[in-house]
Amino acid sequence: MKKLDWYILKKFLTTFFFCVFLFTIIAVVVDISEKTDDFVKSGLSATQIFTQYYLGFIPFIDALLFPLFVFIAVIFFTSKMAGRSEVIAILASGTSYNRFLIPYWIGGVFLALILMFSLALVIPIANVKYTTFQTKYINVNSSYDPLVANNQRSVYFRIDSFTYAGIRNYDTTTKYGGPFFMNRIKNDQLIYNLRSSSIQWDTTTGKWKLSGIVERYLNGQLETIKKQQAMTLAFNFKPFDLSNDEYAKDKLTTPELQRFIHDQELRGTEGLNTLKVEEYRRFATPISVLILSLMGAVIASRKVRGGSGAHMAIGFVACSIFMLMDRFSTMFSTKGNLSPLLAAWLPNIIFIGVLIYFYRKAPK
């Protein structure tokens, strides 16, 4: 890398992190103004609110607006360079336009990798804090309350393609319920039935403990019955799988989310598009960071009469369209028949076309 690359890259990263810092402060101030009454009612101190809520809220909002921050940062500092005729001087020195864009590629890839790592492993951990606080203190009248109203009278689910189970009076807080039953089907015939008076999750072994078990093995007209006082089984479902958590997709790391989707597919669970869109978006959003980095450079490198103001206006309009497309494609997938993979990547596909158009029109 040459001095020119370091010059542009330094401006890119410093402007980006300044935008993140500035918008984070604005977001926190606006959020505090909206939730002041809820914070007062919670009875928590300022330190507790910061550690239990804002340490989760800040990563959440920054990840949500990350592509916007990148685009605004690139538009801002590149338009300043164009206004001072620095871009013209760079191209007049014999530097090709493609060579001029290399530091934008480097910065875009670097920030995309940061976002990809954060979405996969960091943001879900922060979302646990954020959503728990939201549920306990903010959305107290929500239909979902994992800390108070988590008694589910009955839970019925599919363990695999041939096995069905159910738990009555299951409590997601204590992870205890009963009675429990499990049926295994083969060739449309019941071949195995298990019933127990109770079932409880053992946090030490990571398995389910059953008590008062009756097992029935059926082979045509033959039936074998076995009884046991206690049994420990390693089922392929865990307490998290049994909870009706509307924030599940936000709390799971990418490996956990992929495992959860795979398990739900084996059980024949319907309505998984929301989870699949989230999985694909965690890879699509970092790519959008790179696309918007290059688009911002291509748009703002042209010296125009309106200067930075004109470039910023174009930037905000483009980002608004991008975010609207992202939300609409998600809605069409979760509420309709649009493929989750296409829903996650559709904004990127369209904006790649927009990037190519602006690139061809850019003065080189």
Beta bridge mates, 228:
213
Give the pLDDT confidence of 255-310 residue by residue, as tens digits. 989 988 887 787 767 778 888 999 999 999 999 999 999 999 998 888 766 566 67
Rg (CA), the chain: 27
pTM: 0.80
Given a cut of 50, the residues of the chain with pLDDT beneath it are 143-151
Q: Which pLDDT score, from 0 to 100, does residue 104 have?
A: 95
Pairing mode of beta strands 163-171, 207-219: unpaired
C-alpha–C-alpha distance, residues 30 and 362, integer Å: 38
The closest of 100, 130, 80, 82 to 9, measured between CA atoms, is 100
Beta bridge mates, 180:
167, 196
Q: Which pLDDT score, from 0 to 100, does residue 143 have?
A: 44
Q: Which pLDDT score, from 0 to 100, does residue 237 have?
A: 82
Give the pLDDT confidence of 37-49 residue by residue, as tens digits. 888 888 889 899 9
Asked if 234 and 215 touch (Cβ cutoff 8 Å), the reply is no
